[in-house]
Structure 1
Amino acid sequence: MALAPFEWRDKPALIEHLFPVQKISAESYKEQMANQGKTLTALGSYWKGRKPLILNKACILGSLLPATDDPLKDLEIFELLMGLDSVTMQKRIEATLPASRRHTVGEYLLLPFNDQVRIAKRSEELGDSLFNHVWSKVNQHLGTSASSYLDLVEQIGIARFGRRPRLADTFSGSGQIPFEAARLGCDVYASDINPVACMLTWGGLNIVGGYPESRNFIAQEQKVLAQKIQQVVDQLGIEANENGWKPRVFLYCMEVRCPQTGWMVPLLPTRILSKDQNAIVELIPIKDEKRYEIQVKIGVTGDELIEAAKGTVRSDGRGQDPYLLHTVSGEEFRSKISTLRGDFRKEDGSTGNKLRGWDNSDFKPRPNDVFQERLYAIQWVQSKENPSAGKTKERFEFRSVTKEDLMREQIIEDYLEENFSEWQTNGWIPDMRIEMGYNTRQPIWERGWTYWHHLFNPRQLLLLGLVNRFSSARLKPAFFQLVQNNSKLSRWDNSGGGRAGVKGVFDNQALNTLYNYGSRALSNCLPMIFADYKSFPLSENINLLVEANPVDQLTKENDIYITDPPYGDAVKYEEILEFFIAWLRKNPPEEFKNWVWDSRRSLAIKGEDEGFRQGMVAAYRKMTQMMPDNGIQILMFTHQSGTIWADMANIIWASGLQVTAAWYVVTETDSALRQGANVKGTVILVLRKRNQELETFRDDLGWEIEEAVREQVESLIGLDSKVRAKGSEGLYNDADLQMAGYAAALKVLTAYSRIDGKDMVTEAEAPRQRGKKTFVDELIDFAVQTAVQFLVPVGFEKGEWQKLQPVERFYLKMAEMEHQGANTLDNYQNFAKAFKVHHFDQLMSDSSKANSARLKLSTEFKSAMMSGDAEIARTPLRALLYALFELSKEVEVEDVLLHLMENCPNYLPNKTLLSNMADYLAEKREGLKDTKTYKPDIEASCARILAEAIRNQRL
């Protein structure tokens, strides 16, 4: 019997009750580590911070599936649909093994889940046939008759919303969420204020998600485009040399006149061309002309390579001003780059320099400009067919620049001179001014470049202009990939191991000007033009709409909103994407013509100020209005700022929403770490409409929050215990329970419209005052502390635990986390914020890394932080750790106890607490793996001895 429309209208969603975050974290990390192997990355690798498709899938299914009175069965069905079950995992692991070893797959299934995931293929790599075995169990539990995700999603969408579910992402970015929603079978609405984001979203749905006929059409377009460009290049004669060799990379550098000597000096941070080929350039002085000839030298010695690493641009240390250095007749001359630019400070305190601002008509430096540009080497390639092997053999070689090479450069400049105005008028090359901003200041200040086309040299403008002119909408993602990999900001990587080559502008999210850079020849551009995208054809029945609109222009109701909005510390896409917008602004393809090809910086939600909060409130209020009463929202955000919980609570309250669940998933890899080795995770907030006007008082909230936290945590612990009892790995650790506690507290708070007689929407919208806590801040602090205090470790009484200093609770709680194997740095960061420990880094081992962090042992503290301003100083725990240190140094037990009495404030009232803490540390340190510098077993032994000594001490 089919599910009836709206049969599940009021059923809670699965994600509001359970979410196996440890397994989803493992899968998310696996996908992030795939780098270029990820499904949508080929469309635009310059877009960072993509949320993993597997996480999006979990959120979508979790929002649609019902929570029943059988949570174990709910979990089983969810894991089947997510490919987390043992049968699917066996298939995923078998796919990585050679046929001769597939009989050993059972051994792999005995490994911890994280290790299984690391070995296995990702589910999406193996296709929907991987899930053929799940449908009978799924249908039996849900009452559906599905044989695919498309069937299932339509049927459960009808049961919940009366129709195929409509899912919207109004901050679509690179399109990860809309793509996964469409692949599962939802109707999709995607919007973003930035047209580049919309193009990436459109590309995911129409290129990666295109039908086979569409993919064949793209392949034909790629071929025609390459032929057209090759024809122009050949007609102009600007690439192949007289011997038939073709260029691969042209290397250019800035060149300046030394103010002390009058010499023209190439600006080269290094003279190494390639470490693999031991290739360098030498600067040969031409004294009569006061300039340097640049000669390529191949096969140099190791010493020559080391010497060549020192270029003519140097810096004495990180953050120090770079300077020009060259030698004339044995005498060194140095000039700061800032001096060459003519930097100065104005009377009003602002800064300026004497660089000429380039005009729109400029595409190369004028003779009197400070920074000239020079071709200084070329990497050539000769291809030879080998019919017997069926392969083409390529030989690469660096060569010095010849007169013929310079003649070809002149041909390009002459051609551009003749056609420049027409190409700009037609929109084939940019004519858009660079608007000053946080990132866009760099090219203006450092080079005098004031229009976007100034970031490209004549050769690059010619090739990119041709690609832009002849490419369709389906080829624009490839064109943008080429734009960011063929600019004056595209660095030349001279490293070995196959990594050498021209790199992307947005290796990081900045517009860093370079002293030398690589420019791709046509043969080196073709791999990007012929981009080979993954193929996941979407159903023809799915409704897809992509719009370049701000959220306040949303006009259509949607059942589910899953959004990953900008954060206060996010990449300033509204600035840096103008780098791309400039290329399509005047002449976008027909499919993109209705979009506004402007970054609309003033409308972008950004920063950390009131504008950010107000923008977020307006966006989420609009989504709430355009959602049915039983609709659901998933809000993803990166948990970094200490005030983020209060900010989010303000936004949620003011938007007419309330929290129903929160989960924490690790989504970033080690390669994404920032200064301080921060590993980033994603908080998943589940939100519903606040459909009632409820009122309460703060005095009553404490009991209600504590009860909600207790029920939530005990529910998850109970489910975790049942899972473990069946022989499976646990679902949750203390960090997950902490997050669940936060969610329970926020669920209670955000259910109320009035607290202590105050209208919470008004309070949430009130502007912040620097240094002053708002009413909402105080409520959040109160709620979080109530949640944290409930998580009392086994071995401590509640009253005893609450008497400890925050830093003591933090240290002891993290000792338990280490015992559980949860050693990621984000756990320490999150608990430090929860316990209000301001300098938790003082307690961390110097060897801590993002995914292998740990506390200091007593032997690492030694006698440090016994007094002074450290948070742990003069606490009973610090006295205890010093006593353990003394025991490890074989100090007599009687002397250790005497010192403990001296160091511990109020020793007698704390005597039982000290023995309890020693027992606790003995248990948590025991069994941890020893290393050369880390000996937790010794600490455990000392702690057992000390606990017994304290208990038996007679005073």
Structure 2
Amino acid sequence: MDEVVLKPSVTPFSLKDAPSLIERVWPVQKISVEAQKERKAVKGQTLTGLGSYWKGRKPLVLVRACVLGALLPSTGDDEEDIAVFELLCGLGNEQVGSRLRASLTADEIKSFATPEQMALLFGSDHDDPAKFRKMTKEERHDLVGEVVARMPYHSRVEKLFRPEEIEEEKLTSPYLQRVNEHLGTHANCLAELVEQIGIMRFGVRPRIGDVFCGGGSIPFEAARLGCDAYASDLNPIACMLTWGALNVIGASKKRRKEIESAERRLLASIDAEITSLGIEHDSEGNRAKAYLYCLETRCPQTGWMVPLSPSWVISKSKKIIAVLVPDPALKRYDIEVRAARDAAEFEAAAAGTVRSGRLVHEVDGEIFATPIKSIRGDRRGANGATLTDLRLWEKSDFSPRPDDVFQERLYAIQWIKKETFGKPRQTTFFTSVRPEDEARERKVHEFVATHLRSWQEQGLVPDMAIDPGDKTTEMIRTRGWTHWHHVFTPRDYIIIASLLRHNQDAEIGVLIPSLLNHASKLCQWATTNAPLDADGKQAGGARDLPNHVFYNQAFNTFWNYASRASSFLLRDVVVTKEVPSVEIVGRGKVSNISALALSEQSHIFITDPPYADAVHYHEISEFFIAWLRKSRPVEFKQWTWDSRRPLAIKGNGEDFRKGMVDAYKSMADHMPDNGLQIVMFTHQDAGVWGDMAQIFWGAGLRVMAAWYIATETTSELKKGGYVQGTVILVLRKRKDGEHGYKDEVVQEVKVEVADQIDTMVGLNQTLKGHGRIENLFEDADLQMAGYAAALRVLTKYTTIDGVDMTKEALRPRAKGERGLVTEVIEFAVQVANEHMVPEGMSPKVWERLTGSERFFFKMMDIEMTGSRKLDNYQNFAKAFRVAKYDDLMGDMEPNKARLKSAKEFKKAGFEGGEFGGSKSRALLFAIYELQKDVDGDEVLSHLRDLVPDYFGVRDDLAALAEYISRKRANFDDEEARAAGILHGLIRNERFG
């Protein structure tokens, strides 16, 4: 008989009470760099192919770090704990070679390589390397990888693939022996390791739950790591995305082939149907790619029908424009599409007929301008709502009636030349609307008029009304649309109805919302210039196409818009082209229920909850629900196809707080006593953070750790008002809470906030051998980290000053009520600010400054880094309680903001206000006088007169003058020199 070889086993519950790694150490800056790299991949991110319209997904690398950080134990050896964690996340120095994507230039190698590495790469004479020594490709790859590992981390990742892009076996398997030795496991792959750690903690394979699953990144990444995943969301579109992540991206190779085959058959059926209608091919066999429409209205001053568009430029790269040709007999304009004759004509076309909210056109040399609001009949109603004279469309409408204020007009068509259709490189061109095009447009309208009612009865075209809301009311008010099908073009009806009729596969159905995001009258026509290459020649990259609907989180109505023809629109459904394939190891389950209705157990809950100013997904999703609620695949029929607005946790105040308490209590009730919750939270308002403290109290949870991750990349849409990062809160069930007093709590918060900030900017530097990390965090980020640190202190208490904090958390609040929690949270921000003394300023000098002076000198320090974001000024003005910070500003443009210089202050700004009467304002006046060549003794005399306690603060004045001199050196040499002179005058002045 053969000997039976028993596999080694791990001991169930041996880590039951061990603290998690994320509760003690976590390499936040490395995770931040990797998260931002993933964000910058935009459509290259793993899950965006399912639907880029869902903006709230957290980076997969962050989710991975959260899952592993929660499962791995903190052994007491921080160095090795972090090393093992980084290897499992793919962040280790040893893994650079596996991730290497781009080679280094000779200059980069010279900057970072050791002499030994230089010699190996270029030979003994490597002062001026021209080419590599002869070696195998693999040898050179390994050597370059070693050099990359010496680069600062943020520079390093630019040369690397993202961890998610590397096969798990190649990324982590080589290091499992080291991991097993450290953890006492015997795993052969990451999934086995995750299961074994789960058994050691919970007795079984770990299950990760997310009751606000949204775009699905948390359950997807948990399942990919080898956990079982439970996901739920009130929103059926979110559930579809999550189901798609698990079952389309995570489909087996066999199932993917089946999906692709079904998809090809589906697209062929739709194409044959559209072609048979004869609505997309012209008489020469060319096929339409996109149709350009505009609104048209009658000018009340001239009686002319005027097409409306903010620009008549159709293609920037080809210089194609639409030219309005007057027809005086009919008092209207023909529209001619052609290349601009010269630069002046092209520039004139860019002006359009809608300018600054006015209809503008010229008749017989006279320019007429009429506010659009007056054409629409906008006025204020009795209840404060805006009323208009627009007719509200009816359910049977699909185009304007002849007497409506706004008409819709096709004015240009983009075509694909017949000989290039279906080829990788298509040749496109634009035409005016010809008689044959008008005939095809009439055919479309006639076909829709005949079929609309039956389509709506079958659920192939929406019949759902648009409910007024924060985002949806705009469409009703500005266009008169009342039902969701009004938002789409008649051509959209034909294409999408055909798709819904022919498709039965859930995996393809998951992608229909992405298709809808590229349809409708909410798609603006976009044209961009092709970039110039190094020789100044036009390279590829020019784009003339309809934008997608949700480029931001709103329903944007346009004066001109574009509709994709069927081949162009359906291209966005193609699974093989848009969606990657990733192996999913764990099991996943998706439920379309509220967080309050949770009935499934999970060991760890990781959630990215709705915030008090959250995106209105409950409204936005109605755009998709209207199409799918009667025509969804069988796998989704049991879900509730309604946005259920009343049940959505949204807004702020009492409803927000109560909904969140109930949700987090439900999760706490459905996890074991040694379970963990991780909450990803982003907000900059102290009141909302006060709400979060009360939410966790009310749910019976305690904040064990808080980390700040810089997850967001800067974009034009976000500059000015959006935070750049996410706080990761780690929570456990609160067992035996502590009792304390406010004075004690405040002092504890002070210590905790300082420690939090020191950890954020210095954790990685205190751990050896993990790569050089630059500080990624702006001071505004550190302020928000102060909120989180305060929560960590507050939530460990059961009573404060004898008040039961759980009962206090559940008590309804009066509007504007300020309590203990809000005071402590605000104090935490103050501590954070005081802890952030500008570089080069004495803490003692800083302590003696007023709030407005701190704002001024802190922003001067930030300006030295080149940052000019207005939101930084706004955040610090709020933090330092500077009500009229704009008085101190020289420029308020969002990305060019700056402080006033001494010359710009001149003699003004002394009247009233904290800053006007400060020693700093007097100091700036003295600098201004020196720039105006006022005698030094006279300058000092004026300074003594302006500063009542001059001799008591003389040393501070000298220090501040020296500070200004250093900070302004690279930006305002004249001011810097004057400040330096003033510093010398104060230091050397004689007293008689």
Asked if TM exceeds 0.5, the reply is yes
TM-aligned CA deviation for residue 781 of structure 1: 2.9
CA gap 1:919/1:234 in 2 versus in 1, 3 angstroms = closer
In structure 1, what is the equivalent of residue 434 of structure 2? 402
In structure 2, what is the equivalent of residue 45 of structure 1? 52
**Cα displacement string for residues 341-360 of structure 1 (whole angstroms, at most 9, x for unaligned residues):** 34344456544333222222
Q: Counterpart amino acid of 2:459?
A: G
**Cα displacement string for residues 291-329 of structure 1 (whole angstroms, at most 9, x for unaligned residues):** 333222235322221222233x322x3xxx332x34444
Q: Aligned partners of 1:307 and 1:790: how far apart in 2?
A: 55
CA gap 1:340/1:397 in 2 versus in 1, 3 angstroms = same
Q: Aligned partners of 1:848 and 1:776: how far apart in 2?
A: 35
CA gap 1:382/1:862 in 2 versus in 1, 3 angstroms = same
Q: Aligned partners of 1:369 and 1:450: how far apart in 2?
A: 14
In structure 1, what is the equivalent of residue 124 of structure 2? none
Say whether the 8 Å CA contact 2:783–2:829 is kept in structure 1: no
In structure 1, what is the equivalent of residue 987 of structure 2? 950
In structure 2, what is the equivalent of residue 874 of structure 1? 917
In structure 2, what is the equivalent of residue 687 of structure 1? 731
* 1:494 partner SS: strand
TM-aligned CA deviation for residue 406 of structure 1: 2.2
Give the alignment partner of residue 207 of structure 1, picking from 241, 245, 248. Answer: 248
Q: Counterpart amino acid of 2:305?
A: M
Q: Aligned partners of 1:826 and 1:686: how far apart in 2?
A: 28
Q: Normalized against structure 1, the TM-score is what?
A: 0.89
In structure 1, what is the equivalent of residue 461 of structure 2? 429
Q: Counterpart amino acid of 1:420?
A: L
Q: Aligned partners of 2:53 and 2:871: how far apart in 1?
A: 25
Give the alignment partner of residue 464 of structure 1, picking from 496, 516, 532. Answer: 496
In structure 2, what is the equivalent of residue 60 of structure 1? 67
Q: Counterpart amino acid of 1:571?
A: V
**Cα displacement string for residues 650-701 of structure 1 (whole angstroms, at most 9, x for unaligned residues):** 2222222222222222222221543636552212222222112432222332
Give the alignment partner of residue 765 of structure 1, picking from 802, 807, 810. Answer: 810
Q: Aligned partners of 1:227 and 1:726: how far apart in 2?
A: 54
* 1:72 partner SS: helix
Q: Counterpart amino acid of 2:507?
A: R
Give the alignment partner of residue 411 of structure 1, picking from 440, 443, 451. Answer: 443
Q: Aligned partners of 2:846 and 2:166: how far apart in 1?
A: 50
CA gap 1:535/1:350 in 2 versus in 1, 3 angstroms = closer
Identity rate of aligned residues, in percent? 44
Say whether the 8 Å CA contact 1:858–1:939 is kept in structure 2: no
Which shifted more, 831-840 or 437-446? Answer: 831-840
In structure 2, what is the equivalent of residue 780 of structure 1? 825
TM-aligned CA deviation for residue 889 of structure 1: 7.5
**Cα displacement string for residues 425-471 of structure 1 (whole angstroms, at most 9, x for unaligned residues):** 22111111111112211222222211111111211110111112222
Say whether the 8 Å CA contact 1:205–1:538 is kept in structure 2: no
**Cα displacement string for residues 512-567 of structure 1 (whole angstroms, at most 9, x for unaligned residues):** 22222111112212321324244343445x22111111111001122212211222
TM-aligned CA deviation for residue 824 of structure 1: 7.8
* 1:357 partner SS: coil
5 Å matches for 1:577-596? 577-596=621-640
Q: Counterpart amino acid of 1:906?
A: D
TM-aligned CA deviation for residue 196 of structure 1: 0.9
Q: Number of aligned pairs? A: 937
* 1:686 partner SS: strand
TM-aligned CA deviation for residue 779 of structure 1: 3.0
Q: Aligned partners of 1:146 and 1:868: how far apart in 2?
A: 72
**Cα displacement string for residues 125-161 of structure 1 (whole angstroms, at most 9, x for unaligned residues):** 2222123333233222222223432122212222222
**Cα displacement string for residues 185-239 of structure 1 (whole angstroms, at most 9, x for unaligned residues):** 2211111111111111111111111111121122112211111111111221111
* 1:688 partner SS: strand
Q: Aligned partners of 1:843 and 1:915: how far apart in 2?
A: 21
TM-aligned CA deviation for residue 836 of structure 1: 4.2
In structure 1, what is the equivalent of residue 119 of structure 2? none
In structure 1, what is the equivalent of residue 94 of structure 2? 87
In structure 2, what is the equivalent of residue 338 of structure 1? 373
* 2:562 partner SS: strand
Say whether the 8 Å CA contact 2:214–2:241 is kept in structure 1: yes
Say whether the 8 Å CA contact 1:658–1:747 is kept in structure 2: yes
TM-aligned CA deviation for residue 92 of structure 1: 2.7
Q: Say if 2:607 is the partner of 1:575.
A: no
In structure 2, what is the equivalent of residue 910 of structure 1? 953
Say whether the 8 Å CA contact 1:169–1:562 is kept in structure 2: yes
In structure 2, what is the equivalent of residue 487 of structure 1? 520
5 Å matches for 1:457-536? 457-471=489-503, 472-497=505-530, 498-531=542-575, 532-536=577-581
CA gap 1:339/1:163 in 2 versus in 1, 3 angstroms = same
* 1:485 partner SS: coil
5 Å matches for 1:128-167? 128=168, 129-167=170-208
Q: Counterpart amino acid of 1:755?
A: I
Gap regions ≥5 residues in structure 1: none
In structure 2, what is the equivalent of residue 601 of structure 1? 645
5 Å matches for 1:660-699? 660-671=704-715, 673-674=717-718, 676=720, 678-699=722-743
Q: Aligned partners of 2:771 and 2:262: how far apart in 1?
A: 55
Which shifted more, 718-727 or 869-878? Answer: 718-727
Q: Aligned partners of 2:893 and 2:79: how far apart in 1?
A: 37
5 Å matches for 1:780-859? 780-785=825-830, 789=834, 802-809=847-854, 834-838=879-883, 846=891, 856=899
Q: Aligned partners of 2:197 and 2:887: how far apart in 1?
A: 51
CA gap 1:901/1:193 in 2 versus in 1, 3 angstroms = same
Q: Say if 2:419 is the partner of 1:384.
A: yes
* 1:75 partner SS: helix
Q: Aligned partners of 2:948 and 2:160: how far apart in 1?
A: 54
CA gap 1:76/1:905 in 2 versus in 1, 3 angstroms = farther
Q: Say if 2:589 is the partner of 1:556.
A: no
**Cα displacement string for residues 385-423 of structure 1 (whole angstroms, at most 9, x for unaligned residues):** 69xxx9665322211222222222232223223322221
Q: Aligned partners of 2:311 and 2:222: how far apart in 1?
A: 48
In structure 2, what is the equivalent of residue 118 of structure 1? 158
Give the alignment partner of residue 220 of structure 1, picking from 252, 261, 272. Answer: 261
Say whether the 8 Å CA contact 2:463–2:484 is kept in structure 1: yes
Say whether the 8 Å CA contact 1:745–1:787 is kept in structure 2: no
* 1:611 partner SS: helix
Q: Say if 2:661 is the partner of 1:617.
A: yes
TM-aligned CA deviation for residue 264 of structure 1: 3.3
Q: Counterpart amino acid of 1:609?
A: G
In structure 1, what is the equivalent of residue 474 of structure 2? 442
* 1:137 partner SS: helix
* 2:703 partner SS: strand
5 Å matches for 1:341-380? 341-346=376-381, 350-380=385-415
Q: Counterpart amino acid of 2:389?
A: K
Give the alignment partner of residue 746 of structure 1, picking from 791, 794, 805. Answer: 791
